Amino acid sequence: MPGSDRRPFVVLAVLAVGAVVVLGVGIGAGGPGGGPGGDGGWQARLSGLGPSSPLAAADLAPAGGTCAIGGAVVTVTASCTLDVPAVSGLFSFGAVTRRAALVAGPAPLTLVVTQQGHPARQDLGAGETVRLTVGRDGGSLVVTCRSADRQCSITVSREDA
């Protein structure tokens, strides 16, 4: 065979070797449930590589309901909608995501997070924590108090705290 006829086979062989290497690294590093070190696997180790910044309570904008933001604490009466604005700028260089840990106060609450039109609901008991990652497009949080007096609060802290 002339040299030009072998080119597709050489490209195919290189791709096959690359696929085997990726498969071997994936198996060696462990699956999503845990790797050899018990650290959550390669997906957990790679999840923090992208640029992200902390989401603070000051980044939230009340958009409905009754709530007050003081420091890192959002105090809610009955229900409150909070907007997380989209990342703005000419080219939006910088953090791709913003991350926070949301900790329920002494009263139970329901948190509905909507990003790109998709809602996700989480019921939190007193003191429970949920980790939140918001993308470039922003989103909204609806906090609804489930206590008898309809009063609750949520603390926004760094995700790694």
Residue with tokens 């050489």: 10
Compute φ and ψ for 25, nearest 5 degrees. Answer: -65, -40
| Per-residue pLDDT tens over the stretch 106-122 | 999 999 999 988 999 99
Q: Hey, where are the domains in the chain?
A: 3-46, 52-157
Tokens of 124: 């939190």
Cα gap 73→127, rounded to integer Å: 13
pTM assigned to the model:
0.65
Give the residue among 90, 92, 69 at the shortest CA–CA distance from 81: 69
Structure tokens, 60? 């939230």
Task: Report residue 31's pLDDT band, with 50, 70 and 90 as the boundaries.
Answer: low
| pLDDT value of position 149 | 92
Which CATH topology does 52-157 take? Jelly Rolls (2.60.120)
Band of residue 55 on the pLDDT scale cut at 50, 70, 90? confident
